[in-house]
Structures are given as structure tokens and as C-alpha cells.
Amino acid sequence: MARNTTAVRAASLAELAELLTGLDEFLRSGTAATSALTEFLASRGHAHPGFAAGNLIDEVSFTAYWLRGLTGRTGPAAQDRPAGSPASGHH
């Protein structure tokens, strides 16, 4: 059986890891973000929106961590970004 594979550039994975890390930081930045996500999931009819929000936030975090591992970037987030990089916020 033939297997479909797609090559993904390491730089693209690193960029995705950075994006997910920033999203994780935002979602964990306070109750307003978590509450908004919970409300959104409730509006879509989720039976347990708070639980689902927590799981989604954790999944973002775990995926970012996994991608950083693939690309050799093991630091948690913005602290590892050089000043002036697009995701650092210090232009």
C-alpha cells in the first residue's frame, strides 16, 4: 500500500510552534480568555464547555511543545525569541 507523505520545512514547523506558543500564552493569560473560549464552546452546544476549553488549551500547549521538540527549540516561548523577531512584539 502506497503511503502519502508531505515534506514540511523545519522553518514552517518552527513558525507554527511559535504561533501555537503565543496562542497558549494568550489563553493562559487570565480568566477572560478562558471564559470567552468556554462561552464560545457553549454557544456551539458543547455539553461540557469548561472542560472542553481546558482540554483545548492543553492540546495547544502540548502540540506547541511537540513542534518545538521537532525543530530543536525547547524553550517555552517569547523569552527564547530574539528581540526584533516578528513574534517577539519588539519591532
Per-residue pLDDT of the chain (91 residues; tens, 9 = 90+): 667 777 778 888 999 999 999 999 999 999 999 999 999 999 999 999 999 999 999 999 999 999 989 888 766 554 444 444 444 343 3
Map out the domains of the chain as residue ranges.
Answer: 11-76
Answering whether pTM is above 0.85, one says no
**At which residue does the C-alpha cell 501555537 appear?**
20
Q: Quick one: which of 64, 53, 66 has its CA closest to 22?
A: 64
Taking the C-alpha atoms of residue 57 and residue 83, their distance in angstroms, rounded to an integer, is 26
